[in-house]
Amino acid sequence: MRAVRSLLWLAVVGGYAVLPWLAPSLTYQLTIVLALGLAALAVSLMLQAGLISFGHALFYAAGAYAAAYLGRLTGAHVVITLLLSSLSAALLALIAGLLIVRYRGIFFAMLNLALSMVAYTLLLKLYNVTGGSDGLVVSATGVAGYAMGPTGLADLLFYLALAAAVLAAWFVRVYLRSPAGWALGAIQDREIRVEYLGVSARRVLLVAYVLSGGLAGLGGAIAGIAVGHVAPDSAYWTTSAGFVVMAVLGGGGDVFGAFAGAALYEMLSVFAAQYLSSSWELLLGVIIFVIVRFAPSGLWGFYDGLWRRMAAGER
Amino acid sequence: MTAIAGPLLSATINGVTYGATLFLVAVGLSLIFGVLRVLNVAHGSFYALGAFTAASAWLLISALGWPPLCIYPALVISALVVGVAVGPVVERGLLRWTFGIEAEAARENAQLLATYAIFLMLEDAQKLIWGGQPYYSGSALRLLGITRINGIPYTNYQLLLILVAVLVLIALRILLRGTKMGKFVLAVAEDPEVSSAMGIPVARIYTVAFTVGAILAALGGALASPTIGVNTGIGSEMIVLSFAVVAIAGLGQIEGAAVAALVIGVGHSIAVFFFPALSSVIPYATMLLVLVFKPYGLFAAAQVRRI
């Protein structure tokens, strides 16, 4: 059964990898799904500890703006830009995290919100540095100084994003099964008992927060390069809320849930923008409500339940 | 008047009027949190619905050829209609199930997500009903004439806003401390289980408190509608501003919300005069500073950590 499940994942990733061959016009959308999935993964990592962040757009925007600056400063090639942007977002998360990991529940949500809104207004107002509401152009060249055409770069970016997503998912999975990852889940259940075990809850949360910031930043950098542009809206609170929605849609249970949630969210928004131009938020609101109300474990919970039932049937 | 004191005075007056609207919305949010323990993300939508309804009322009054002064009672009626129509439906129909969730973290998260879903639905409902174009009812602003303070003209309407906010603050205080219903509300805010055991109809108090909170948000929107362009997006902006006020004051604080709204309003206006580029950072930066040093807000007592 385990082998079947692993093979299935291989098939999903392989199938995703050949999609741009079958439908080249979808390459951009498929890259964006991966970028959003990384941000949703970042949010669902904090959800493991029972903490909702209404401010992760801060790190997403930080990654995208870092990519814009790196492209301008060095004309850096895309791999280095992605790595450095993710690192800058992680560094920002380290600084913010020193403060934020002291808070739980609503206060954690609100402090994240406050930080991201400060960043949003600064991005909007410091016109000379950030381009104000016009935002910045994000440019990236190919690998090792080898210039590529726009379609070549789009393809390269897609496969880089896919590789990054698979690596990130694998890493988070390993992390969640490590002692630090178990402690993270235990903080949600009974933080005080975690402390009695001699584990510093704040340190556990800080590690998770920095990892989470780096993941969101990586997503932001990928999206920034794919769009070729970044604007302050990427730091607005509704962007953060979107990530929370993706994480919840997918279900916080496992790393692939975040990507499934991002794919569903993006599919809904593209579909609804085409057919229901003015009421896509209404549809999304209803779907979120139904999931929170009737299926709190999300898509992943549904999928996992299916497998459990099949495994039970085998025995 | 010295060169600094003049602008400072007029910034303060502008700030107080801005703070008055902010207070009305934030005190509703604080009331709902204080009683139901729900951080209502959809609160900004109640504000927006109040503003849109008031703008429509102004169009209706103009179309019917009624005397323009009818707009003032119409603003208040718009707020009441929105609050009474939306509040109970949202609380009874969409939020009641979350109160049964035992684990505190799971309950808070479900409520954040459910109210966010309601926010999304109400945002689109506004677009469907009122379309995408902004509404201006600025002429309602000038009906009451202007007052010159230190040579700078202020519409009397702005000054009236301050009066309304003060009246609401006093009325809330009297209603909460002086009436039986108010004492019920305070008791439920303190401990719903014990209140229920004492025979207080907790479920009904929840609905009443939520509806009053929604009316206050809609009142803020209705009263602000002549001073702004009523457009989609005003709700999502107002919700974060009122979060800031409530976080600074401390969740559930009513008089504190008034002080925090004044601080943000005046701070914002002074920044508009002296560092215009940074004025919109003020509310969030203040919120951040307060949360760092006093995580439960300026006026709330720190909670003992429950094991």
DSSP string, B232-281: TTHHHHHHHHHHHHHHHH-TT-SHHHHHHHHHHHHHHHHHHHH-GGGGGG
The pLDDT value recorded for residue B305 is: 45
Does the distance separating the beta carbons of B243 and A105 come in below 8 Å? no
pLDDT tens sequence across A7-47: 888 888 888 888 888 888 888 889 999 999 999 999 999 98
Distance CA B260, CA B263 (A): 5
Q: How far is A271 from chain B (nearest CA, A)?
A: 16
Does the distance separating the beta carbons of B104 and A118 come in below 8 Å? no
Chain A, window 259-278: residues with a beta carbon less than 8 angstroms from a chain B beta carbon:
278
Does residue A302 belong to the interface with chain B, where contact is any CB pair within 8 Å? no
**CB-CB neighbors (< 8 A) of A196 in chain B:** none
Does the distance separating the beta carbons of A292 and B240 come in below 8 Å? no
pLDDT tens sequence across B8-38: 788 888 889 889 999 999 999 999 998 998 8
pLDDT tens sequence across B223-237: 998 888 888 888 888
Radius of gyration in angstroms for the set of CA atoms belonging to chain B, rounded to a whole number: 20
Mean pLDDT across the stretch B278-292?
A: 85
E strands, chain A, in order: 136-137, 229-230
**CB-CB neighbors (< 8 A) of B232 in chain A:** none
Distance CA A272, CA A281 (A): 9
pLDDT tens sequence across B93-142: 898 988 888 877 778 878 888 999 999 999 888 888 888 788 887 777 77
Does the distance separating the beta carbons of B247 and A245 come in below 8 Å? no
Confidence of residue B2 (pLDDT cuts 50, 70, 90): low
The pLDDT value recorded for residue A62 is: 95
- Does this model's pTM top 0.90? no
The pLDDT value recorded for residue B114 is: 92
Distance CA B297, CA B253 (A): 9
**CB-CB neighbors (< 8 A) of A293 in chain B:** 97, 114
Decide if pLDDT at A257 tops 80: yes
Angle at B162 between CA B161 and CA B168, to 5 degrees: 90
Does residue A293 belong to the interface with chain B, where contact is any CB pair within 8 Å? yes
- Which DSSP helix (H) or strand (E) runs through B167? helix B156-178
Interface test with A, best of B112, B236, B248, B290 (most A CBs within 10 A): B112
Does the distance separating the beta carbons of A126 and B39 come in below 8 Å? no
Does the distance separating the beta carbons of A50 and B109 come in below 8 Å? yes
Q: Is B240 exposed, middle or buried, given 0-12, 13-18 or 19+ CB atoms closer than 10 A?
A: buried
Does the distance separating the beta carbons of A279 and B124 come in below 8 Å? yes
